[in-house]
Amino acid sequence: MKRVIFAWIALAVLLAACKREDPDPELSGPGKSKGVFIVCEGNYTYGNSSLAFYETEKKRVYNQLYYARNKVPLGDVAQSMALCGDQLFVVVNNSGKIVVVDQYSLLHKGVINDLPSPRAIHFVNERKAYVSDMITDRMTIFDPFTLAIKGTIGVAGTKATGVGHTTESFVQVGDFVFVSCWVSGDLLLVIDSKTDQVVDSIKVPYQPNKMVVDGNGKIWVQTDGHYPGTHPDPDKPSLVRIDPHTRKVEKVFPFEIPGGWFSDIRLNPDRDSLYYLAGDLYKMAVSEESLPSVSFLPLQGKYYYSLGVDPHTGEIYLGDPADYTQNGTIFRYSSGGTPVDSFRVGICPGDYLFRN
């Protein structure tokens, strides 16, 4: 009888061990799979932002990853994300924090709190990062390894509205970091990353936002020219090309409708062509001296909130926010514009981070 009991116990232990080795895939997450992280902003003040991952080879999406792994909400308005080593840093704007997780397990590793209105992170190196801010005239410096705040960069100054600068997006060329002053601003600020001081500024059309650096080393800036009705003398939405060495604007490509909407610029893998959303999706060689007259991908009047381009494959991802209160949809296209897949994610998909 004892032998039978011991046999049943051994079998139960074996089955339990097998079960532990085959966890629920929705809880285990994507592991080291190739794909793309998607930050979904959620609704302002509702605290329903989320983090998703899409496996490109299996065409499988994992939603609510942060909550599934950590059993707590991500926070209120997840704005952007960036990767440093194996750590994924998620900027949660209205919660005033940066959440840090392991990029493979998605387990919580730390948090940086008490940030006024963080927007984006730029890693200068593995021990120094900058955080832009939408409502204050300073940026935060922190150590990505310890998560300790190391200081601030003051960006106060005079501009058209008579208030201090706010900061948005970053690019770096050599030792100099360029940051856009989006909210009612008309400048790019130039920061010496060795001294953490603003050393210069470049005037551009109103409200510069997203930026990229092409294969020739030129900076391209998306400006929206102010929201309709918010400024007595708005600029046209524009695409701006800048030489980062002379710090001069080389060319402004204005869009024809003042107050019209132009958003999100991205580069192809060779960094010799730009994609941007302006009603339809457009593609433009960086060598061109005029805007394209024909769209790359007609969108039939449908509004897309976000754009991502895989830097390895050139595939294109467009985020449909629906009505901003229900879950959004991502549409995946080949580099040539052929539909590949679509999948549901959280509310208001806003930022993409590709992992090869």
- Residues sharing a CB contact under 8 Å with residue 319, sequence separation 6 or more, in sequence order: 38, 304, 305, 306, 307, 308, 328, 329, 330, 345, 348, 349, 350
What integer pLDDT is reported at residue 85 of this predicted model?
Answer: 96
CA 153 to chain centre: 22
What integer pLDDT is reported at residue 28 of this predicted model?
Answer: 59
Over residues 209-223, the mean pLDDT reads: 98
- The answer to whether residue 162 scores a pLDDT higher than 70 is no
Q: Which two tokens stand for residue 107?
A: 């387990």
Over residues 171-183, the mean pLDDT reads: 96
- Cβ 238 vs Cβ 253: under 8 Å: yes
- The answer to whether residue 259 scores a pLDDT higher than 50 is no
What integer pLDDT is reported at residue 255 of this predicted model?
Answer: 87
Q: How confident is the model at residue 232 (pLDDT cuts 50, 70, 90)?
A: low
What integer pLDDT is reported at residue 3 of this predicted model?
Answer: 42
pLDDT digits (tens, 9 = 90+) for 111-138: 999 999 999 999 999 999 999 999 998 9
- The model carries a pTM of 0.89
Single-letter amino acid, residue 314: G
Q: How confident is the model at residue 226 (pLDDT cuts 50, 70, 90)?
A: confident
Lowest mean pLDDT among 157-166, 298-307, 326-335: 157-166
Over residues 145-151, the mean pLDDT reads: 98
Percent of the chain surpassing pLDDT 70: 87
